[in-house]
Amino acid sequence: MAELTPKLTRHGFLVTIRSLIAASAVGVVVGPILAFFWPMELLETPEVPISLGDEETIPVGGSKTVRFGRNPAIVINLEQFGLVAYSAVCTHFACIVKWNPESGMIECPCHAGFYDPQDGSVISGPPPLPLERFKVSKDGGTIYLETLT
């Protein structure tokens, strides 16, 4: 009867494991370097309108924060004015603003900045500029968000 010999010796197994660990370490170092030289293209704001879903996704008095290019945008469904959209980045210190339906204002939680939801202007606090406004449109029951031209 023929004796079975293992195809992979203990030494061969350890060499393979050591090579895998070394390759992983090289990948951890080289990967970010390559990503730096070939970054993902991400525009400040998209060139084409993005879909936000059906009209029912944002009820009256409600809001939705969505990714819009590099930064988030906030879309608010106001009772008197309908859908309005602004950059969700505070102009003071780049914190993310939130819609507060109880106060009826867009609020920055970092330094107590308050914005008017009708036009994005500063009501009070340290923000030096109003929020950037975006265009909201509807087509066939779907809401679209795009930059003002």
How far from 49 is each of 45, 63, 77, 132, 146, CA to CA, in Å? 10, 18, 18, 16, 5
Contact 93, 86 (CB under 8 A): no
For residue 116 the two structure tokens come to 């008017």
**Domain range summary for the chain, segments of one domain joined by +:** 10-40, 50-147
- Report if pTM > 0.75: no
Query: What angle (nearest 5°) sits at the alpha carbon of residue 100, between those of residues 135 and 88?
Result: 40
Going residue by residue through the chain, which has 149 residues, state the pLDDT in tens, using 9 for 90 and above. 567 666 888 898 999 999 999 999 999 999 888 888 876 665 677 788 999 999 889 999 999 999 988 889 999 999 998 999 999 999 999 999 999 999 999 999 999 999 999 999 999 999 999 999 999 999 988 999 998 86
pLDDT at 118: 94
Q: Which residues contact 38 (CB under 8 A, 6 or more apart)?
A: none
To the question of domain 50-147 being in CATH 2.102.10.10, the answer is yes
pLDDT at 128: 93
